[in-house]
């Protein structure tokens, strides 16, 4: 299930919610309002050595795929 970030339009609090689908409703856990806005989210990748995983990842450098062209980017 995907994790989405939201901003409540009533109380202004940000929160995260695991939802079954991208269009599933999410109420604010702080004020119970349904007036929430899905925020743009990004994910981060880290290695056990620390730093950015893309620094040492093989491939074209866009997604970390083992071979260039595997991810169709």
Q: Is the pLDDT of residue 1 over 90?
A: no
Domains detected in the chain: 1-41 (2.20.28)
SS3 7: strand
Do residues 45 and 55 lie in contact, with contact meaning Cβ atoms separated by under 8 Å?
A: no
User: Of all residues in the chain, what percent carry a pLDDT higher than 70?
Assistant: 58
Mean pLDDT in residue range 38-60:
63
pLDDT at 50: 53
Mean pLDDT in residue range 38-51:
70
């Amino acid at each position: 299930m995907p994790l989405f970030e939201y901003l409540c339009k009533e109380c202004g609090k940000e929160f995260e919610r695991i939802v079954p689908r991208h269009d599933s409703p999410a109420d604010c856990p702080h004020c119970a309002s349904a007036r929430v806005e899905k925020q743009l989210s990004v994910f981060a990748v880290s290695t056990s050595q620390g730093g950015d995983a893309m620094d040492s990842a093989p491939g074209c450098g866009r997604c970390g795929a083992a071979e260039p062209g595997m991810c169709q980017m």
